[in-house]
Amino acid sequence: MAPLIHILHLEDDPVDAELVQTRLEACDFNCQITHAQNRAEFENALRQRQYDIILADFRLPMFDGMAALRLARELCPDTPFIFVSGTMGEEAAIEGLTEGATDYVLKQKLSRLVPAIKRALTEAENWRERRRAEEELRKLSRAVEQSASTIIITDTQGYIEYANPRFTETTGYTLEEAIGEHTHILKSGHVPTEIYQQMWQTILAGKEWRGEFLNKKKNGELYWEAVSISPIKTTDGTITHFLAVKEDITDQKQAEETRARLEEQLRQAQKMESIGRLAGGVAHDFNNLLTVIQGYADLMETAIPAGDPQLKDLEQIRLASERAAALTRQLLAFSRQQVLAPTILDLNDLVANLHKMLGRLIGEDIALTTVLQPGLWLITADPGQIEQVIMNLVVNARDAMPTGGRLTIETGNIYLDADYIETDFEAPTGPCVILTVKDTGHGMDKSTLARIFEPFFTTKESGQGTGLGLATVYGIVKQSGGHITVQSKPGDGTTFNIFLPVTANAAVNQAKSQPQLQTRGGHETILLAEDEETVRFLLRRTLQDEGYTILEARSGSEALSLAAHHQGQIDMLLTDVIMPQMSGRELAELLKTQRPQLKVLFISGYTNDAMVRHGVQAAEINLLFKPFSPGQLVSRVREVLNK
pLDDT tens readout for residues 146-161 = 777 899 999 999 999 9
pLDDT of 467 reads: 60
pLDDT of 346 reads: 92
Cα gap 37→433, rounded to integer Å: 98
What is the full DSSP assignment across 417-462? -HHHHHH-TTSPPEEEEEEEEEE-S----HHHHTTTTSTT---SPT
Cβ partners under 8 Å of residue 118, min gap 6: none
Cβ partners under 8 Å of residue 342, min gap 6: 380, 381, 382, 480, 509, 617
Looking at 302-386, which runs of residues are DSSP E strands? 343-345, 366-371, 379-381
What is the full DSSP assignment across 326-349? HHHHHHHHHTT-PPP--EEE-HHH
The pTM of this model reads 0.42
Pick the closest to residue 349 from 382, 326, 372 (CA basis).
Answer: 372
The long-range contacts involving 180-189, CB below 8 angstroms and separated by at least 24 positions, are: 182/157, 182/158, 183/152, 183/154, 183/158, 183/159, 183/244, 184/158, 186/213, 186/215, 186/216, 187/215, 187/216, 188/213, 188/214, 188/215, 188/216, 188/222, 189/216
Answer whether 288's CB lies under 8 Å from 190's CB: no
pLDDT of 423 reads: 65
Cα gap 56→36, rounded to integer Å: 9
Residue 146 Rama label (left phi>0; alpha psi -120 to 50; beta): alpha
Q: Say whether 254 sits in a helix, a strand or coil.
A: helix
Please list the rounded mean pLDDT of every run of 10 residues in the chain (643 residues).
Answer: 86 89 85 91 92 90 87 91 84 84 87 89 88 78 79 93 90 92 92 92 93 93 93 91 92 82 66 62 71 80 81 81 67 53 86 84 87 91 84 88 91 84 73 93 87 72 60 83 90 92 57 45 90 88 91 93 92 89 89 91 65 42 80 89 86
Cα gap 584→331, rounded to integer Å: 22
Cβ partners under 8 Å of residue 148, min gap 6: 166
pLDDT of 518 reads: 52
DSSP 531: S
Answer whether 17's CB lies under 8 Å from 11's CB: yes
Pick the closest to residue 473 from 498, 441, 507, 506 (CA basis).
Answer: 498
pLDDT of 520 reads: 63
pLDDT of 275 reads: 62
What residues does 213 pair with on adjacent strands?
225
Q: Is residue 276 within a helix (H) or strand (E), and if so which, with residue range?
A: helix 250-303
How many angstroms separate the Cα of 485 from the Cα of each of 208, 258, 446, 493, 500?
A: 45, 16, 14, 14, 12
Cα gap 602→525, rounded to integer Å: 16
| Domains contained in the chain, CATH given | 5-141 (3.40.50.2300), 147-248 (3.30.450.20), 258-329 (no CATH), 343-501 (3.30.565.10), 525-642 (3.40.50.2300)
With a pLDDT cut of 70, the percent of the chain lying above it is: 85
